[in-house]
Amino acid sequence: MPENPDSWTFLTNHAHVLLCLAQDPEIRLCDVAAEVGLTERGVQRIVKELATSGYITRERNGRRNRYLVHARQPLRRSIARHRQVGDLLQLITQRRAAADS
């Protein structure tokens, strides 16, 4: 058993960042970093990777960015490639909404 049980999670940092962007398309990356527990530079790298891979589109909105998540993109691993990003996001947000009520 790991010494610190909080040292790992079931979802990757990419999934956590994607979830933040899906829930609040106008969120600032510094706020994503605080929510996910990463540095702002780390979040910037993940956002760039998500955009390059076609999972998000970044649109300039004045001085801010707006993020569009492409929910129909398939998950990356072959074991889950039959599922879409939207399936994962829906599962997580449904569970979160149920827990909040």
Instruction: Report residue 44 as tokens.
Output: 């910037």
Alpha-carbon distance 23 to 96, whole Å? 11
Q: What is the pLDDT of residue 99?
A: 59
Q: What is the pLDDT of residue 79?
A: 76
Q: What is the pLDDT along the chain (101 residues), one digit of tens a residue?
A: 556 667 778 889 999 999 999 999 999 999 999 999 999 999 999 999 999 999 999 999 899 999 999 999 988 877 777 888 898 899 888 855 565 65
The pTM score is 0.81
Domain 13-100 sits in CATH 1.10.10.10: yes
Tokens 């929910």 — which residue? Answer: 71
Alpha-carbon distance 94 to 69, whole Å? 17
Alpha-carbon distance 50 to 68, whole Å? 11
Which DSSP letter does residue 27 get? -
Instruction: Report residue 29 as tokens.
Output: 């990356």
